[in-house]
Amino acid sequence: MSVLAAFAVPHPPIILPEVGHGEERKIIRTAEAYYEAMRRVAAIKPDTVVLISPHAHMYADYFHISPGKRAEGNMGVFHTPEVKITAEYDAEFVEKLTQLAETEKVPAGTLGERSKLLDHGTMVPLYFLNKVYTDYKLVRIGLSGLSPLVHYRLGQCIARTADELGRRTVIIASGDLSHRLRQDGPYGFAPEGPEFDGQIIKALEAGDFMKLLEFSPEFADAAGECGLRSFQIMAGALDKKAVTHELLSYEGPFGVGYCGAVFETKGNDESRNFGVQFEKCERKRIESLRENEDEYVRLARLSVETYIKTGRRADLPEWLTEEMKSRRAGTFVSLKKHGQLRGCIGTISPVTGSVAEEIMQNAVSSAVCDPRFEPVSEHELPELSYSVDVLGDTELISSPEQLDVKRYGVIVESGRKRGLLLPNLEGVDTVEEQISIAKKKAGISPDEKVVLRRFEVVRHK
C-alpha cells in the first residue's frame, strides 16, 4: 500500500459550532467541503493519517515529527475547553520515516518537542474526521524554514515509508491561505493576498504541483500565507502519481482564505516528478545568473567555493578591477538557496585593505559563520546564488523622515548596541518596519530611543 489520497484543508477554529456560536454559518461552504472530504477519507479506510500542521512545532532547519504513543488537546485557548481531541500515534511509521529522512539527508525527527498538546491546525481537521472515521493512527508533522524542495522531499519520504510498511495512508495538509484579504482581517490587507489565493486555487484545481514550489518567499510572506509548505509536503507525497484533482470550496469572509481540495491517486505517472523538474529549473536559473555575474559577485562565489572545497581562502585573482583593489568600504555578502536566505554577513565599515578583501572575508563568513544556519556544504554549492552590497559612507540623521526604504539602509544605535538593515529588501515596505527590524537585530526594545544613521549601497547580483 501507499499514499492513496491527499486533502488540503483549512483550520479556522471558528468553523466549529462550539467556537463560532453562529459565526460558522458565514463559512458554510467550507464546512460542507470538510464533511465531504472526511467522508472520502472514511471510504478509503486508512491505517495511517499523516497530518501536516503549520501550528505544530516549527524550527528553521528541522521538521518535528511528534513522538510517543498518543496525544490530546482541547480548544481552551478559544474559550471552549470542553471540545477535546485525542489521537493514537503510529509510532512504527514515525520511526521508519525518521530513518528514511536521515538516509535522504532531510532533517526530520522527534527531537525538540516543547509540548505534547495537539495544536488547532491538527485538531480542526480531526474534529471533522473523527465524526465519520476513527480506526486510524496519526502521524503529526510540523513545518520548517527550509526550502520548498526540502519540504517536497519530506513528502517523498512519507510516501516511501507508507510503501515499505504496507500502510493504507492518506495525507491531510492543514493550512489556511492568505491572512491579508481584507482591511478588517487579522493582518489587514495586502494586494499580494488575493493574488496569492488566486494562484493557489488555480494550482490546486488543476493539480499543478509545480506551481506550489515556484512561489517566491518574499511574495508568500507579503501575502501572509499559512499553508503553502503543508501543500508542498503533500505534493512530494504524491510524486510520480497520477491523481484526480478537485477543488471543493474556497471562501474568505473573515479576511483569511479557506480552501478544500482532494487528490486521489490513480496509478503512476512518471511525468509528475515535480521535484526533479524544479531542480532542473533552478539549475538553469543559477547558470543564467553566473553567465551574467559581475566581478563583485564572481569574487564572492570564488571565495565561498574555494573555501568549502579546499578549506583554504582564495588568493586575490588577477582580474579584479582597480576600484576593487584600491577602494575601502564595508560590504555585505548574501547567499540564497532556492530563493531563500542561506547566509548573510557583512561589515558596516571596512576592516581590510580593500573592497576585494572585504568581499572575500565576508563571503566565507556568510557561508560558514552565520549563526542562523549550518555551514554550507559542498553539495549545496551548485544551488547557491549570491549578491554583494558595497556600502557608502554613513550619515547621522535626526529623524526617520530622512529615511527611504528603497534608497537608504539604516543603522540604529543605543549605547553599545547597534543594528543594521540594508535598503530595498523584499517585504520591508515602510521606514517603521525598517527601524523595527534593525532594533530587533540589535536587541533594542521597540520603545527604546536610538541614534539613527543612514547609508546608500551599490548592490551587485
Rounded Cα gap, residues 12 and 94, in angstroms: 27
Domain boundary among 390, 421, 443: 390
CA distance 32 to 289: 48
pLDDT for the residue 410: 94
CATH number where 336 lies: 3.30.700.20
Residue 41 counted as domain residue: yes
pLDDT, average across residues 302-306? 97
Same domain, 370 and 400: no
151 shares a domain with 99:
yes
Instruction: Specify if 288 maps to a domain.
Output: no
Tell me which of 338, 368, 390 is where a domain ends: 390
Segment 164-173, tens digit of pLDDT: 999 999 999 9
Taking alpha carbons only, the member of 8, 3, 4, 53 closest to residue 33 is 8
Q: Is 279 helix (H, G, I), strand (E, B) or coil?
A: helix
Average pLDDT over residues 337-362: 93
Parent domain of 74: 3-277
Together in a domain, 372 and 421? no
Would you say residue 161 has pLDDT above 80? Answer: yes
Give residue 338's pLDDT: 82
Q: 304 and 435 share a domain?
A: no
pLDDT at 372 over 90: no
Q: How confident is the model at residue 461 (pLDDT cuts 50, 70, 90)?
A: confident
Q: Which of 250, 277, 304 is the last residue of a domain?
A: 277
Residues 142/229, Cβ–Cβ less than 8 Å: no
With a cut of 80, say whether residue 427 has pLDDT above it. Answer: no
Question: In the prediction, which pLDDT does 252 show?
Answer: 95
Query: Rounded to an integer, what distance in angstroms lies between the CA atom of residue 413 and that of residue 422?
Result: 15
- Residue 266 domain-assigned? yes
Does the pLDDT value for residue 186 go beyond 90? no
d(CA 321, CA 314): 17
The per-residue pLDDT for range 64-82, each reduced to its tens digit, is: 999 999 999 999 999 999 9
Based on the structure, what is the number of domains in the chain?
Answer: 3
CATH number of the domain at 441, please: 3.30.1490.150
Residue 426 lies in a domain: yes
Task: State the average pLDDT over residues 385-397.
Answer: 93
What confidence score (pLDDT) does residue 162 get? Answer: 98
Residue 16 pLDDT more than 80?
A: yes
- Of residues 187, 192, 185, 200, the one with CA closest to residue 255: 185
| Residue 287, in any domain of the structure | no
Verify that 87 and 210 share a domain, yes or no: yes
Judge if 230 and 327 occupy the same domain.
Answer: no
Structure confidence at residue 247 (pLDDT): 97
Is residue 452 domain-resident? Answer: yes
Q: What is the pLDDT of residue 2?
A: 87
Same domain, 332 and 226: no
| pLDDT, mean of residues 429-436 | 91
Residue 320 has pLDDT above 90, yes or no: yes
Find cell 492518506 and name the residue: 170
* Together in a domain, 345 and 415: no
CATH number of the domain residue 90 falls in? 3.40.830.10
Model pLDDT, residue 60: 86
Taking 90 as the threshold, does the pLDDT of residue 217 lie above it?
no
User: Is residue 447 in some structural domain?
Assistant: yes
- 386 with 410, same domain: the answer is no
Q: Round to whole Å and give the CA distance between 301 and 368.
A: 13
pLDDT at 442 over 90: no
Q: Residue holding cell 468553523? A: 15
Quick: pLDDT tens for 78-137.
Answer: 999 999 999 999 999 999 999 999 999 999 999 999 999 999 999 999 999 999 999 999
Mean pLDDT across the chain, nearest whole number? 95
Predicted TM-score of the model (pTM)? 0.85
- Spatial separation of the C-alpha atoms in residues 136 and 454, rounded to whole Å: 59
Radius of gyration of the chain, Cα coordinates, nearest whole angstrom? 24
Residue 356 within any structural domain of the chain: yes
**71 Cβ neighbours under 8 A, 6+ residues apart:** 86, 87, 89, 116, 117, 118, 138, 140
